[in-house]
């Protein structure tokens, strides 16, 4: 992470990434609503990508619960991305959160920057929790980056007939820790 806006000391706290599909399902929304309050009360700082869907919902609920959050962008830290989440960008900064990026001010998002962003999300987090994601999703990229970096990956099991459940179910099949009880999620 080369550029930032906000409280950089959040990087030294208990960080955990919560990531998932841009096309958040009702199940994914319910999981985030169950998960985030329990993480915040345990003192975790929530890291995500401020994308539509699970990422934005995780940031927003974290702030609703009085927690702190770090948003990793695929643009410059002065460019709210996506533009429709400018309200969330403003809310994160106003709450004492942190916006980070690998790109200088004024940089607009590009497809390759999202891959970098996913790696940074994993790198800033002590663990990654996957809520949901399709077969070809940035969520899977983030989880793979976390595994390559030696981080724990937790995944919420999903319905085997739903495309958004592919990533967490595949991760569990390949060694990720199934997350069915937040009381089991005690990293530090």
pLDDT tens readout for residues 81-126: 999 999 999 999 999 999 999 999 999 999 999 999 999 999 999 9
Q: Does domain 3-182 have CATH number 2.30.30.60?
A: no
Task: Find, among 49, 19, 16, 47, the residue nearest to 32 by Cα.
Answer: 19
Instruction: Give the residue-averaged pLDDT of 149-178.
Output: 96
> What is the rounded CA–CA span in Å between residue 126 and residue 71?
15
- 124's enclosing H/E stretch is helix 111-124
Q: Per-residue confidence at 185, pLDDT binned at 50, 70, 90?
A: confident
Q: How far is CA 38 from the centre of its chain?
A: 16
Domain ranges of the chain: 3-182
> What is the rounded CA–CA span in Å between residue 158 and residue 188?
26
Rg (CA), the chain: 15
């Amino acid at each position: 992470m080369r550029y930032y806006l906000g409280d950089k000391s959040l990087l030294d706290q208990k960080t955990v990434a919560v990531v998932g599909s841009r096309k958040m399902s009702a199940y994914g929304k319910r999981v985030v609503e169950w998960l985030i309050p329990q993480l915040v009360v345990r003192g975790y700082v929530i890291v995500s990508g401020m994308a539509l869907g699970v990422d934005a919902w995780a940031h927003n609920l974290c702030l609703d619960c009085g927690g702190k959050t770090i948003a990793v962008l695929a643009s410059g830290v002065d460019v709210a991305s996506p533009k429709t989440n400018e309200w969330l960008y403003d809310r994160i900064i106003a709450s004492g959160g942190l916006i980070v990026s690998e790109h200088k001010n004024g940089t607009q998002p590009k497809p390759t920057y999202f891959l970098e962003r996913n790696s940074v999300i994993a790198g800033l987090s002590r663990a990654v929790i996957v809520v949901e994601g399709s077969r070809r999703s940035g969520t899977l990229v983030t989880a793979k980056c976390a595994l390559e970096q030696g981080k724990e990956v937790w995944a919420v099991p999903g319905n085997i007939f739903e495309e958004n459940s592919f990533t967490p179910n595949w991760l569990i099949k390949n060694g990720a820790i199934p997350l069915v009880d937040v009381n089991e999620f005690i990293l530090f």
